Structure 1
Amino acid sequence: MPFLAVDIGNTRLKWALYHTPQPGSDPVSHGAVFLETIEQLAEGDWAGLPMPSTVLGSCVAGDAVRHRVEDQVHELWERPCSWVVSSAAEAGVINGYDHPARLGADRWVALIGARARLLASQRPGPALVVMVGTAVTVDALDEHGEFLGGCILPGHGIMLRALEGGTAGLRVPTGDVVHFPTNTSDALTSGGTYAITGAIERMHRHLLQRGGLPPQVIVTGGAGWKVAPYLGVPYELVDTLLFDGLLRIGQERAKPLAAV
């Protein structure tokens, strides 16, 4: 029976249905909705889907949103949902956070997805896992699959709202990213982009200096495509990274059941 993967961010819910939890497989169906419209899933996007054997998700939007999704799954299929919680280790990744359970579930799932992709491509070296959305995270993964740590910074939208709220006269249209901005719109857009890419490039240097191996930069998130072209290091843009992680986790968790 199918496997339903659910990724709940701060703005949208993304989902994908697979025949089985096999990393690298293509979804049978997929979609995305804004959090405000979750209550329409059972009668909308999910109405024609076959009943999944497993529903596995990652949620960073809080318990209230998670419960709304559980209600939709129960209304349609009367099945439970399982949610990823960061732990000391899972699916080949070791969690180096001071308090492993406090690492955001989306960051944990993305790290697991990145490790799975690296192993599948025969390139199990170090990696920087970058998620660009409402917030931006830049996480370091060594060649052995250990999460070393990472940084969090505001995304473009938060940066602009902070400037608008704290500085008079900055409510201007979005501009372009240029080397030497000569108007306020371009200055704001360029400044935000360079802040994000600068953090990524700094973490890239840290990881390179630590192990001597150039890390692969994997970029994901709804705004990843806006930022990645301005990076000064090679990168790979992977829209499905969290689904890759959920598939890998689902595959690992199914092993004990298959062995029974």
Structure 2
Amino acid sequence: MIVAIDAGNSRIKWGVNDGNAWLDSGVLATADVAWLSEAADEWPANARVAICNVAGPEVAESISSLLAPRHATISFLRARVAACGVRNTYERPEQLGADRWAALIGARGMLAGACLVVCAGTATTIDLLDATGVFRGGLILPGFDLMRTALAHNTAQLPLAEGVFRAEPRNTLDAIFSGCLQAQLGAVERMFAGIAAEPDARCLLTGGGAGSLAAHLKVPCQLVDNLILNGLARFAASP
């Protein structure tokens, strides 16, 4: 039995996997990490716990302290040169974010062909994985909401826009909303061009902002709710 925990900047997602399927799952705000202990009370005591944390050392320490009395086998995923059929070509492999590494491992478990792995959260990451399992590099940019917040906080007359997406916006709220979304879409589509000619190339999207991107992308794409958790479970089950 495996418990996978994805601790992001905004949310913590968790799931219990028996090796074939997710038996239980949940989500809470990262600021409410202490509440994870209530969920942990229901997890199998002998489960292996695999954690992906990009929320900082304080969150990592909190999770470790909460789980230590209940689970003897706790491990934090860290990127390395190779794992689970994925080869990491980052200039310094260990500096690749654990969330990106987990998502790449999850993607490789789903697809045998080339894919673009997009995690749309507080930040948006866009990573190329070729058909042989080589991670060829990727982008990090502010997420959709972070882009809108930056405009509101750093300009005198632009609000936090609650507009709608339009191809040709004709008011300020829609212009901000559409501009931030187009920036995300453009980055994804430009990166996908690097593998577009490969057989069955696909874009995998995960994270809170994935649905908004999928609705407007002009490349083959698929929404995956638990891509990072899938990667964690796959890694934890590997020899």
Q: Shorter-chain TM-score: what band? A: over 0.9
Q: Partner residue of 2:189?
A: 201
Classify the secondary structure of the residue corresponding to 1:207: coil
Quote the offset at 1:5 in angstroms: 0.5
Q: Quick check: 1:150 aligned with 2:138?
A: yes
Question: CA–CA distance in 2 between the matches of 1:214 and 1:153?
Answer: 26
The answer to which of 47-56 and 32-41 deviates more is: 47-56
1:37 maps to amino acid: D
Q: Which residue of 1 aligns with 2:50?
A: 56
Cα separation, 2, equivalents of 1:193 and 1:97: 28
The corresponding residue for 1:121 is: none
CA shift, 1:158, in A, is 1.5
In structure 1, the partner of 2:162 is 174
Q: CA deviation at 1:172?
A: 4.3
Deviation at 1:177, TM superposition (A): 0.5
How many residues of Structure 1 are paired with residues of Structure 2 in the alignment? 239
Q: Find the counterpart in structure 1 of residue 214 from structure 2.
A: 228
User: Where does residue 203 of structure 2 map in the other structure?
Assistant: 217
- Provide the identity percentage: 37
- Structure 2 matches for 1:1-260, cutoff 5 A? 2-19=1-18, 22=19, 25-42=20-37, 44-75=38-69, 77-118=70-111, 124-208=112-196, 212-213=198-199, 215-252=201-238, 255=239
CA contact (8 A) 1:73 1:80 kept: no
* CA displacement at 1:81 relative to structure 2: 1.7
Question: As a proportion of its length, which structure holds more helix?
Answer: 1
- Partner SS for 2:213: helix
Amino acid at match of 2:124: V
Q: Structure 1: which amino acid aligns with 2:126?
A: V
CA distance in 2, matches of 1:173, 1:151: 25
Q: Is the 8 A contact 1:92 1:112 kept in 2?
A: yes
Most deviating of 45-54 and 107-116: 45-54
Paired residue type of 2:86: V
With normalisation by structure 1, the TM-score equals 0.88
| Deviant stretches of 4+, over 6 Å | none
- Please state whether the residue corresponding to 2:140 is helix, strand or coil: strand
CA distance in 2, matches of 1:159, 1:45: 33
Note the residue ranges of structure 1 that are not aligned, 5 or more in a row.
Answer: 119-123, 256-260
Measured in 2, the distance between the counterparts of 1:36 and 1:250 equals 26
Question: Partner letter of residue 35 of structure 1?
Answer: T
Deviation digits for residues 8-64 of structure 1, max 9, x if unmatched? 111111100122xx3xx322211011112111222x222233214311111111111
Letter in 1 for 2:22: P
Give unpaired runs (5+ residues) of structure 2: none
What is the CA distance between 1:208 and its match in structure 2?
A: 3.0
Q: Root-mean-square deviation (CA), in Å? A: 1.4
SS of the equivalent of 2:118 reads: strand
Post-superposition offset of 1:159: 0.8
**TM-score with structure 2 setting the length:** 0.95
Aligned AA (1:16): G
2:124 aligns to what SS in structure 1?
strand
Q: Distance in 1 between matches of 2:2 and 2:102?
A: 16
Q: Tell me the distance in 2 between the aligned counterparts of 1:27 and 1:86.
A: 24
